[in-house]
């Protein structure tokens, strides 16, 4: 959840680290800090509460000069977000600093031991125990060997942690280490310079040659390169990978927010998602990276999808897709529930994890659980080279490009599209699709980016969403209703509004309305109804009637030319006509835009809404 950037080389460490932190601020924005070894050979630290801009202003007033440094943006786990708790944390003699992403689960016990040994704590964080432990081992037990002191400290820690250590006693090196699923530690190789980052957009403008640390691995990094080892000190030969992402894809360009950019680029991102995956001659889907044979797919008797948040809602759409197209039973589980409920998992099951970041701790743990029971595992993942991408039998990259806005948008539509491809792929292997049906589905998905582009272009050119936001931004509650394959879109639409506008919104299965929520309907609670012309269209029309009969306001996501809905709803949010199974991908877009425009008018920092972080690497 926190973001770490480290640099050693010939450039100004402060400017490389600050630029990198800007790319990672989506991970946490409670406070930020930096440490650099200045030309005087001493370690200097700057820390500030609040967003990165505060640290940048402090650095303008009190610059740091030097060629080795480390920085951090924080998402608070232990202790409130204030300067005292900002990283880097410093040893008692001021010579050593540590930044951490993760949690020290046994921190209370370690803190007590350290206090008995005479260490005074200056923050409420769990991280501070790490710096004092390293300091203690360094002076007592490791005989001044910093690498050894870090290794011994890591053996004492429980829980996931990614750390970077910098000491003025060893000014020509940075030490990075990773324990458990603490989120990524990417080490970038330059010419006479090296970089460390929690996520690759932070360093893409400098290098695309990246090596990732795995659980219980560490690296001693100098300007010339990195030495990799395990926590016992045995050397490791690790391969770097070349990252193909264009660094500009992680910039905002002409848009006001990343979220806005990511919404409006969905025509392009869906084209990328489909790239290389449709064989029009054979009318087949190609998913080579799935790495599973047709025989393996034929013997499956169940699919379980595990994910969190928006990715979980994508999984719910996936259930409809896979069950209808491949006729395999699908269960969808919150990863955070799956891992603790002793699920029944067998080798004949395929467990599909959906994760934009590839770092979500619960999703990674659910995958581990599935593997432990011998299930086949596949990850649908966006972040190239992330942990989820590395631990599964098979992989489907979303190919959506970096998603920086905290509220997920293009990763949602990419992952639903990938689930559609997976459903066809399973259907091909299992013989549940005849030629005509396969051709119908492939033609339909090929048309999707064009339809998305048309929807978004119309929205961009017109004033509909701005006017609606103006009209509705002060409402306190919204209800979202969907049925069938669009029920998860009601959940996702409500989540988008909640997280970036702080307005209460509830997503509900339309058929359940009469069983309770209908009591809420009045003029004060607008109802968003998702009603494309699909197999439950008639039911959704009745739903609209029922809300109207009780004096409610209805905003309907419907086909632009649907005169019936136009006559019944107060407002229509238009979507183009598509294959029924693809309507969720188009229907979610008006809801994303509406949430964005409402949040703007409420003055929320859309890309960094309060309390949230892009990668949830702690439980």
Site residues (vs ligand F6R, CB under 6 A)? 308-311, 355-357, 360, 363, 407-408, 495, 499, 616
Q: Give whichever of 357 and 543 is closer to ligand F6R, judged by the CB atom.
A: 357
d(C-alpha 419, C-alpha 488), whole Å: 14
Distances (CA, A) of 144 to 97, 128, 150, 151, 477: 16, 20, 11, 13, 60
2 noted as active-site residue: yes
Q: Which is nearer to ligand F6R, 18 or 404 (CB)?
A: 404
Which backbone phi and psi does 58 adopt, to 5 degrees? Answer: -65, -40
Catalytic residue among 2, 319, 410, 496: 2
Q: Is 614 a catalytic residue?
A: yes
Least Cβ distance, residue 382 to ligand F6R (angstroms)? 8
| Residue 141 · residue 118 · CB < 8 Å | no
CB of 293 to ligand F6R, least distance (A): 28
E strand map for 9-105: 31-37, 43-49, 68-74, 89-90, 96-102
Please tell me the distance from the alpha carbon of residue 328 to that of residue 64, in angstroms, as a whole number.
59
Whether residue 483 contacts residue 524, with contact meaning beta carbons closer than 8 Å, is answered with no
Contact, 90 vs 97, CB < 8 A?
yes
- Minimum gap (Å) between residue 199 Cβ and ligand F6R: 11
Question: How far apart, in Å, are the Cα atoms of 92 and each of 129, 130, 134, 135, 233?
Answer: 11, 12, 11, 8, 26
User: What are the C-alpha distances in Å from 609 to residues 248, 613, 614?
Assistant: 24, 8, 10
User: What DSSP state is assigned to residue 357?
Assistant: S
Between residues 151 and 311, which has the closer beta carbon with respect to ligand F6R?
311
Minimum gap (Å) between residue 422 Cβ and ligand F6R: 16
Residue nearest to ligand F6R (CB): 309
Q: In terms of CB distance, is 365 or 536 closer to ligand F6R?
A: 365
Residues facing 556 on adjacent strands:
529, 572
Which one-letter DSSP state was computed for residue 595?
Answer: H
Residue among 495 and 588 whose Cβ is closer to ligand F6R: 495
Integer Cα distance of 431 and 328 in angstroms: 12
Alpha-carbon distances, residue 395 vs 74, 422, 449, 530 (angstroms): 30, 11, 22, 32
Identity of the residue, 100 or 408, whose beta carbon is nearer to ligand F6R in the bound complex = 408
Q: How far is the CB of 68 from ligand F6R (least distance, A)?
A: 31
CB contact at 8 A, 136 and 117? yes
174-179 β-sheet, strand order? 89-90, 96-102, 161-167, 174-179, 217-222, 225-230, 235-236
CB of 617 to ligand F6R, least distance (A): 10
* Shortest Å distance, C-beta 354 to ligand F6R: 6
Name the nearest CA neighbour of 212 among 192, 188, 234, 193.
Answer: 188
In this complex, which beta carbon is closest to ligand F6R, that of residue 485 or of residue 616? 616
Which of 319, 410, 568, 614 is catalytic? The answer is 614
- Closer residue to ligand F6R, CB minimum distance, 152 or 498: 498
Smallest separation, CB 74 to ligand F6R (Å):
18
Are the beta carbons of 428 and 284 closer than 8 angstroms? yes
Active site residues: 2, 614
């Amino acid at each position: 959840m926190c973001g770490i950037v480290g640099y050693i080389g010939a450039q100004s460490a402060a400017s490389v680290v600050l630029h990198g932190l800007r790319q990672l601020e989506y991970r946490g924005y409670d406070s930020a800090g930096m440490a650099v070894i200045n030309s005087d050979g001493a370690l200097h630290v700057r820390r500030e509460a609040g967003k990165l801009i505060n640290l940048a202003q402090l650095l303008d007033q009190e610059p740091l000069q030097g060629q080795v440094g480390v920085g951090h943006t924080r998402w608070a786990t232990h202790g409130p977000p204030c300067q005292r708790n900002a990283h880097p944390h410093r040893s008692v003699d001021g010579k050593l600093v540590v930044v951490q992403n993760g949690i020290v689960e046994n921190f209370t016990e370690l803190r007590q031991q350290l206090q008995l040994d005479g260490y005074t704590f200056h923050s409420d964080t769990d991280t501070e125990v790490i710096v004092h432990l390293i300091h203690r081992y360094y002076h007592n037990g490791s005989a001044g060997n910093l690498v050894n002191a870090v290794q011994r400290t890591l053996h004492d820690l429980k829980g996931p942690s990614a750390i970077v250590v910098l000491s003025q006693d060893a000014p020509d090196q940075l030490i990075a280490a990773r324990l458990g699923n603490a989120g990524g530690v990417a080490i970038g190789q330059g010419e006479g310079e090296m970089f460390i980052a929690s996520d690759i957009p932070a360093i893409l403008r400098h290098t695309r040659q990246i090596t990732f640390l795995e659980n219980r691995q560490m690296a001693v990094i100098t300007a010339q390169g990195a030495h990799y080892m395990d926590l016992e000190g045995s050397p490791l030969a690790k391969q770097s990978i070349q990252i193909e992402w264009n660094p500009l894809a992680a910039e905002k360009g002409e848009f006001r927010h990343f979220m806005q950019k990511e919404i409006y680029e969905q025509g392009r991102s869906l084209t990328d998602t489909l790239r290389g995956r449709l064989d029009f001659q054979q009318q087949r889907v190609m998913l080579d990276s799935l790495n599973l044979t047709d025989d393996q797919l034929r013997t499956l008797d169940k699919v379980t999808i595990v994910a969190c948040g928006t990715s979980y809602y994508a999984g719910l759409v996936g259930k409809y897709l896979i069950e209808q197209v491949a006729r395999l039973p699908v269960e969808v589980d919150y990863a955070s529930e799956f891992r603790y409920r002793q699920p029944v998992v067998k080798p004949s099951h395929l467990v599909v994890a959906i994760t934009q970041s590839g770092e979500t701790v619960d999703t990674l743990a659910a995958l581990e659980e599935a593997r432990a029971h011998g299930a086949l595992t596949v990850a649908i993942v966006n972040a190239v080279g992330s942990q989820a991408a590395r631990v599964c039998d098979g992989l489907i990259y979303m190919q959506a490009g970096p998603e920086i806005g905290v509220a997920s948008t293009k990763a949602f539509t990419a992952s639903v599209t990938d689930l559609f491809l997976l459903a066809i792929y399973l259907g091909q292997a299992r013989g549940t699709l005849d030629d005509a049906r396969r051709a119908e589905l492939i033609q339909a998905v090929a048309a999707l980016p064009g339809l998305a582009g048309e929807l978004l272009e119309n929205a961009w050119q017109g004033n509909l969403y701005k006017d609606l936001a103006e009209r509705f931004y002060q409402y306190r509650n919204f209800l979202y209703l969907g049925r069938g394959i669009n029920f998860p879109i009601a959940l996702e639409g409500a989540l988008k509004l909640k997280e970036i506008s702080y307005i209460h919104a509830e997503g509900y299965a339309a058929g359940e309305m009469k069983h309770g929520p209908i009591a809420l309907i009045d003029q004060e609670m607008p109802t968003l109804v998702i009603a494309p012309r699909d197999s439950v269209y008639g039911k959704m029309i009745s739903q609209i009637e029922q809300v109207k009969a009780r004096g409610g306001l209805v905003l309907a996501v419907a086909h632009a030319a649907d005169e019936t809905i136009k006559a019944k709803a107060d407002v229509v949010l238009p979507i183009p006509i598509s294959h029924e199974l693809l309507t969720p991908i188009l229907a979610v877009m008006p809801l994303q835009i509406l949430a964005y425009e409402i949040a703007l008018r409420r003055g929320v920092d859309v890309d960094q809404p309060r309390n949230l972080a892009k990668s949830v690497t702690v439980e």
